[in-house]
Amino acid sequence: MGTERKRIRLVLFLILFSTISITLSGIYGNGGYFRYKQLCIYENRLQDELKRIEAETSDLEHQLQELQDKEFCIEKIAREEFGLTKPGEIVIYFKETNYPGIISVKN
């Protein structure tokens, strides 16, 4: 009967040891709970960064669309500030106003 009690104690000890090992492995192991929490935090940071980048992209696309729609404004700045002309145009400066007049010459 003494060996039977030792065998039962050994089996109970092995079951307890296995349960504790599996529990600790589940909590602290590579695929454990703490790793899961770290990955959740990392995922939230990435989602926040993605939202920020998407907002920035949307803003830049909006600015680009505004610039494309304002071709006249761009042309005006190019003419007045940089003195650019279209092909075939001649710039005439008037003495009284110092304001350039642009004449289109058709060939």
pLDDT for the residue 94: 67
Residue with the two structure tokens 């710039």: 91
- SS3 category, 7: helix
DSSP symbol at 100: E
- Rounded to the nearest 10°, the torsion over CA 48, 51, 57, 59 is -110
Q: What is the pLDDT of residues 57-102, one digit of tens each?
A: 999 998 888 877 788 778 888 888 888 888 888 877 766 655 556 5
Any idea where the domains of the chain sit in the sequence? 70-107
Please give the single-letter amino acid code of residue 87: P
Q: What is the pLDDT of residues 19-68, one digit of tens each?
A: 888 887 777 777 777 888 888 999 999 999 999 999 999 999 988 888 77
